Copies of this chain bind each other. A is one copy, B any other.
């Protein structure tokens, strides 16, 4: 299907979000988060919920300070606008490295498999992030009976 105008615009905002992270561009990242007074929320993989622009943006400043290199390969991108809100889900195949500890330019690179739900709101200035929730995919085994993924180590999966 041909994407709608909304889908194209939301995809551009979503791409800009990950590019800002890759570029360590804090200002662009800040501009992409909703600033109309609606409280924004953010969950980094393994973290508790962060609420409000102050808390969310501080977490990104901290992450950027501790990340020398990061690249996102997005797959399974799905965009679903409804009215003034749009829901985006994607798989973030992440390759990243922290600062080196012993004189090298870069610390060891680490690969991570993360899934994200990003919620955007329509504003006069374009689509802006209302919520980002990212979480580690802990296993990708497939249950023999159901075809559903059935991670062994995730506990009761609710």
Contacts and interface: CB of A to CB of B under 8 A. Distances in A.
Nearest to A79: B39
A139 to B, nearest CB: 7
Contact of A135 (B92, B133, B146): B133
Interface in A34-63: 38-39, 41, 43-51, 55, 58-59, 62-63
A152 B69 CA distance: 18
Contacts of A138: 45-47, 136
Contacts of A21: 158
A30 interface: no
Nearest to A86: B85
A74 interface: no
Contact of A117 (B91, B133, B155): B133
Contacts of A96: 155-156, 158
A157 interface: yes
Nearest to A114: B158
